[in-house]
Amino acid sequence: MLLSEQAYRKIDKELTKFPSDQKQSAIMAALTIAQDEKNWVSTEVIEDVAAYIGVPPIAVQEVATFYNMFHTRPVGRYTLSVCTNLPCALRDGVKTADHLKQKLGIDFQETTEDGMFTLVEGECMGACGDAPVMLVNNKHMCVRMAGDKLDALVEELRQQGEAA
């Protein structure tokens, strides 16, 4: 078993939401639980989740590689996902991404040397009116992210990461 007992209990809870012949419906939730615990979903974790749910590993692999919120390779402690779709791009989404690239010294799909941050290009987050928009670890949405606000967020996350 690659995950904690608590993670498997959470997956069990998700499985109860679906008929027993539709266990594959819990794949997204199970991958989210695994990624929350491991920070990414390795091939071994994908295989473990598949075995636990009782579906073929390819079914879990397909979900893990289709959705950009799942990380199939190691990422930093904080994943910063910046929306660069057209509405955000028209309201400085690309400028926001460029600011983070310069500040962190990395490009999209790269991780800082200290392992603290990974920068990714995100898809529409449904908050176009609050652009530019970004997500931290696919959980915390940040809106109207201009230079000073970005700098403050990075510093706050860095301090939290160093304190942990």
83 is in an annotated binding site: yes
d(CA 124, CA 115): 26
Token pair for residue 78? 């904080």
Overall CATH class of domain 78-163:
alpha beta
Find out whether 142 is annotated in a ligand binding site: no
Domain borders along the chain are: 5-66, 78-163
For the record, the structure tokens of 28 come out as 């997204």
Over pLDDT 70: what percentage of the chain? 100
0.85 exceeded by pTM: no
Report residue 162's pLDDT band, with 50, 70 and 90 as the boundaries: confident
Model pLDDT for residues 123-159, shown as the tens digit of each residue = 888 998 999 999 999 899 999 998 889 999 999 999 9
128 is in an annotated binding site: yes
CATH topology classification for 5-66: Arc Repressor Mutant, subunit A (1.10.10)
